[in-house]
Amino acid sequence: MGIVKTYHPPLTSKLKQIMKGHWKKQFNYDYLGSYSLDGKKEAIVTITKLDNDKVTGQQGRKEDCFVVYFKEFDKPMILNRTNAKAIEKVAGSGLVQDWQGTQVTLYVEKGVKAFGEVVDALRIRDKKPSKVKMDEEIFKQMEFAIEGGKHVQVENAMSKYFMTKEQQGSLEGLIFKKKKK
């Protein structure tokens, strides 16, 4: 019997845009996870809302979970005690009504034991995010790095800087152009 070759048409530009990022992002998860940072080391986010959601666990059991919403994401994050304590420390209050508007840093912790497995976990740093004012020198270095193909690194670093809307728009435009190539 001979080898059968199957024709696979090239990906359309629409599919190329969809098929980027962590493989878990290709599934419709209802909550943020370690995959949500898409390879970034960390992301500074702003708390917009806290709520309780009915969550279906691995064995199909439903339970009420404490969740937090961020301005920068369209899905909430399930809050465990570790992350709630981190928000309390950053916000300076254990009262959840004081947490709205608080900026926190999300990061991925590797090697966490959970549910009988060792996994990567989405965590919240227990210190306030620190940002540096972007000066013209840093801005030019970022533009140069994007042009040199380091747009992913620049995108990861942008959350660490206070910048004008014009600077942010310019860098995001350059990054978008590089991603399309």
Q: What is the largest CA-CA distance in the chain?
A: 71
Residue 150, token pair as written in the block: 């380091």
pTM: 0.64
For residue range 65-113, what is the model confidence (pLDDT) as tens digits? 999 999 889 999 999 999 999 999 999 999 999 999 999 999 999 888 8
- pLDDT at 52 exceeding the cut of 90: yes
For residue range 102-136, what is the model confidence (pLDDT) as tens digits? 999 999 998 888 778 888 889 999 999 887 888 89
Answer yes or no: are the C-beta atoms of 26 and 48 closer than 8 Å. Answer: no
- pLDDT at 1 exceeding the cut of 70: no
Helical axes 136-147 vs 165-180, angle rounded to 10°: 10
